[in-house]
Amino acid sequence: MSWPEIALLIVNVLIFGFFILIHLFYFFLVVVSVGGAYLQPRRARLLVPERLMDSVTTPPLTVLVAAHNEQATIVESVHALLGLHYPRLEVIVINDGSRDATLEQLVHQFSLHRADLDYRPTLPAQPVRGFYLSTLDPRLVVIDKEQGGKADALNAGLNLCWTPWVCTVDADSIMEEDSLLRALRPALEDDLVVASSGIVRIANGCRVAGGRVTRVGLPRERLPLFQVIEYLRGFLEGRLGWSWLNGLLIISGAFGLFRTSVLREIGGYARDTVAEDMDVVVRIHRHFRERRQPYQVLFVPDPVCWTEVPTTVATLARQRRRWHRGLMEVLVRHSGLFFRPRMGVLGWLVLPYFFLELIAPVVEITGMLLLPVLWWFGWLSTTAFILYLILAFFVGMLFSLWAVLVEEFTYRRYTSWPELLRLLFYGLVEHFGYHQMVLVWRLQGMIEYFRGRREWGAQARAGFQPRPPAVEIADR
């Protein structure tokens, strides 16, 4: 056998080995998540939010909202947060150096006035320019500070926070009224819970009024519809599965609950990464596992947070490049945790799985370009080529369809037959064009990492109501 033939054989083995291994992970997560998909809706029906509202054991909680150039959605988001069903609630909005009318809208809509507050900068954050209180609702506090990024803004909010629990929410998100009570329920039942998160759903296509989602619907545009499939698969299979193993690695920045003391113990949010939400969860795991202290980090699928997703190719591409660049930052930063005995499931299963996700763009794009050529010239058998097609396309389709069916038979947010059929259709066609496009963006994110890029990149906000075309906002 010649050296070129040996090289081709090695490449084939690596590509096929990758697909088999990562699909085994997917299958494992699906099996593990089945229990959660079956039990969680039943547990949710047993919860009576009014009991928690009236209970003296329900702890005070602060919602932190980092806002940078969020004039399109900030007012509706704050109205929704102040309308949440929670007995002792404070909302802190951190205006992170916005250059649009974010602060002005807050001042006007909520009658804000300047105030002197007890701010203790124990966590690193950019200087604060002022504090504002609302004359309409004393639960609302606004911090106006120099721009430092989302992690920096959250640290500033933590410096002012006095409650034992804190919830981080994106400024373009809308939470359902009882989301906080449902997300905090596991912590009230088990003192070992140090962090929890609910499911993030896509608000595009929904009707929003008064800071509430009044009608759930699917987006009309194709890009948001594909993202609905991705979100269902990621939350109902991936995060639910890892949560049952106490290996949840990502608590979305759009909706996450944490013990305030734990966030302070680990030094708050890291300001030198675009994946601060993933990094903080890894450090929480590391903090407790290195000390051999029992703890739980949970995903609870019945609390719902609605968020706006990109509707243009350019904006979606920037988002996915940033996400993958952030994944690489976190895995490189915490590479010493791989296969460490003390890290348990985190070091032996979770981090290796995310490493496979990290290299997936390289392997899959190589396979899509190389294997058809090898088959065409007779260097790859037809049987092997068909196996590749099954692994690369059809198995992924099955996992997408499974996520749609789990949604339909458990949570049933999309109730009409036309919506279900649209979800099934997009679950089928996602792997024929859209998936490959996302792979290219993820590969570009890896390239950006090696080039040293660290900023967030521009975003676009259209708002929850019909508005003029979305406007690009400056880099964070």
CATH code of the region 22-346: 3.90.550.10
Residues of the chain with pLDDT under 50: 466-476
pLDDT at position 57 is 77
Q: How confident is the model at residue 476, as a pLDDT? A: 43
pLDDT at 157: 97
pTM of the model: 0.90
pLDDT at 468: 36
The pLDDT of residue 456 is 61
- Annotated domain spans of the chain: 22-346
The 3-class SS string of the chain reads CCHHHHHHHHHHHHHHHHHHHHHHHHHHHHHHHHHHHHHHHHHHHHCCHHHHHHCCCCCCEEEEEEECCCCCCHHHHHHHHHCCCCCCEEEEEEEECCCCCHHHHHHHHHCEEEECCCCCCCCCCCCEEEEEEECCCCCEEEEEECCCCHHHHHHHHHHHCCCCEEEEEECCEEECCCHHHHHHHHHHHCCCEEEEEEEEEECCCCEEECCEEEECCCCCCHHHHHHHHHHHHHHHHHHHHHHHCCCCCCCCCCEEEEEHHHHHHCCCCCCCCCCHHHHHHHHHHHHHHHCCCCCEEEEEEEEEEEECCCCCHHHHHHHHHHHHHHHHHHHHHCHHHCCCHHHCHHHHHHHHHHHHHHHHHHHHHHHHHHHHHHHHCCCCCHHHHHHHHHHHHHHHHHHHHHHHHHHHHHHCCCCCHHHHHHHHHHHHHCCCCHHHHHHHHHHHHHHHHHCCCCCCCCEEECCCCCCCCCEEECCC
